[in-house]
Structure 1
Amino acid sequence: MTAPTHPAPKPDAVTGQPRPPQAPVEASWKPYDKATDIAPDDPPPGKGPALEWFADAKSTKWGAAAFLFLIGVVFLSVKDGGFGWMGVWWLWLILVVFTSPLLLIRRGTRMTVGADWLRLAGDQWVDTYRLSTIRVTTGFGTYHLELTDAAGNKADTQVWYLQKNRELWDLVYNGILHSITHHGADVNRRAVEHLHLQAVIRKPPTK
C-alpha cells in the first residue's frame, strides 16, 4: 500500500462518520478472531462513544498456550534425553504454571477507540488528533508505537496488535496523520518508515 499524502476528514465524534480509508499495515498482517465475552472500555471523560475495539478470542489464547506448552514438553524431553521426566508430577505443574498466564491476560490487552481517542487496558489513553509525539521503537522482534498527546497522556503498545482490528487501526492512523499535518507532532525516523508517513512529513527526522 502506498504512503498517504494527506489525512482524511475527522469523523464525527458521535456517529464516527465518515470513516477514514484503510491505513497501511505490516506486511505480515492477517485477520484475527475477536473476543465475544469482553466489552469495550468506557470513553475517557468528555469523549464520544466507542466505535471499535478488540481483545483476543479465547481460541487465540488457548492456541498460544497449547503451543507454549508443547515447547516446554520438547525442551524437557531434549534436556532429559527422553521421556522419563513425564513421571515427575511437579514438572507437569511447572508447565501448567508457565503457560496458564496466557489464558488470564486477555482483558489486559483490550483496546478501544472512538473518533478521536485510543484507550488501552483501561488506564492508558490519548487524544489521537492532538498527539505531540509519535515514536516507533523495536524490541523482542516487534515494533512498539509510543504516543503522547498535548495534555501529556500516553499510550504504548505493539503496532501489529493495534492492527488486529483493521477498522480500529484506520481510526488511530487518521488521527496520527492529522496530528502531524495540523499540529506538527514530533515523529521519529523509525515511525516515518514503518508507518509510511513519508508524504506527510515536511522535514524528515534525522533519528
Structure 2
Amino acid sequence: MTKAPTPDSADGPVDLPPRPDPQTGEPFPPHGLSYFGGEQRPHYADPGRETRLSHKPAPPPDKGPVLAWHRESRKGKFTSIVVGFVIMLVIVAAISLFHGDGFGAFTAWPMWIIIVVGTFLTSSPFTYLTYAAGADWLLVERSRWGIKKRIWLDLYKLTKIDASYGGTTFHLWLYNKGGGFSRSTQELQLDRRIWDLVYNGILHSVASGAQVSNQAIGILQLDKTPALKIRNSEHRER
C-alpha cells in the first residue's frame, strides 16, 4: 500500500493517513476535520435512515465495495414533511402577527396553498437522495418517482476543490477532470464514515497538486494537515 510522500519540513517529516485498500477498505481513515455534526449516535441507531439493504446503491463501474451509505427512510421523510409544515405555519403566523392581524392569515384559503407548496418545496416528498462512499470514490444518487440518476467522483484524483458559506451550512465543490458537483457539508456528514472517506481523499488530492481555494483551506482546516506542506514541497522541488 502506498503512502503520500513524506518530505522534511521545519517541524520534521510530514505524512498523511494511508489510502485505504480499494477492495477491503483497510485501514479505514481517521476522523476527518471540519466535522460539524458533533458526537452523533452510531449510524445504525439513526431512526431516520434507511436500513434495508435493497436500497443500498451499487458501486460505480470497476470500483470497490460500498463502505458507507446513507438514505433517508420513509419515516425520516415523513418527519421532514412534518417539520417543513410546522416551519411554514410558524412563518405565516409570525407574518400575520407582525401585521397586527392575529392569526387571521389562516382564514384565507390562498394562504393554505402557500403553506402546502412551501412544505412540498422544502421537504421534496417524492425525492430520495442516497450518499455512498467506497475506499476511493463518492457517489450521489437521486431517486424521483422511481427514476434514478447518479453521479460519482474519484476521491483521489480531484483536480479542484472549493467551498463557500451558504445559509446554515457550507457548500463543497469537488471536481475531477471529467466534471464535478457541489453538495453541502451537512449532506456529506449525514454519516461520519462517509465524511472520513471523503476527507482523506481530499487530503491526498491536495498533496498531489489539486487546486484548492483559500476559502476551502479555511473551511476544511487544511492548514492543520500535512497536505499543503507536501504539495508546496513538491512544487519547490520542481
Question: TM-score of the superposition, structure 2-length normalised?
Answer: 0.72
The count of corresponding residues between Structure 1 and Structure 2 is: 198
Q: Which residue of 1 aligns with 2:32?
A: 23
SS, match of residue 98 in structure 2: helix
2-side partners of 1:36 and 1:136: how far apart? 28
SS, match of residue 170 in structure 2: strand
Q: Which of 31, 35, 41 lines up with 2:49 in the alignment?
A: 35
1-side partners of 2:69 and 2:94: how far apart? 36
**Unaligned 5+ runs, structure 1:** none
Establish whether residue 52 from structure 1 lines up as the match of residue 78 from structure 2: no
Q: Which protein has the larger Cα radius of gyration, Structure 1 or Structure 2?
A: 2
2-side partners of 1:27 and 1:101: how far apart? 25
Q: Which residue of 2 aligns with 1:138?
A: 165
Shift of 1:63: 5.2
Shift of 1:87: 2.0
Establish whether residue 153 from structure 1 lines up as the match of residue 179 from structure 2: yes
What letter is aligned with 2:174?
Answer: L
User: Are the equivalent residues in 2 in contact too, given 1:136–1:144 (CA < 8 A)?
Assistant: yes
Superposed CA offset, 1:140-188 (max 9, x none): 3532111112x3231211123212211110001111111122x211111
Shift of 1:96: 1.3
Q: Which residue of 2 aligns with 1:103?
A: 123
Q: Which of 87, 91, 109 lines up with 1:67 in the alignment?
A: 87
Q: Which residue of 1 aligns with 2:210?
A: 185
SS, match of residue 152 in structure 2: strand
- More strand as a share of residues: 2
User: Are the equivalent residues in 2 in contact too, given 1:40–1:111 (CA < 8 A)?
Assistant: no
Superposed CA offset, 1:89-122 (max 9, x none): 2312221111123332584543111111111234
Shift of 1:124: 2.7
What letter is aligned with 1:136?
Answer: A
Establish whether residue 116 from structure 1 lines up as the match of residue 125 from structure 2: no
Q: Which residue of 2 aligns with 1:164?
A: 190
Distance 1:61-1:178 versus aligned 2 partners, 3 A rule: same
RMSD: 2.7
2-side partners of 1:6 and 1:191: how far apart? 20
2-side partners of 1:111 and 1:125: how far apart? 10
Question: TM-score of the superposition, structure 1-length normalised?
Answer: 0.81
Shift of 1:86: 2.2
SS, match of residue 110 in structure 1: strand
SS, match of residue 24 in structure 2: coil
Distance 1:197-1:60 versus aligned 2 partners, 3 A rule: farther
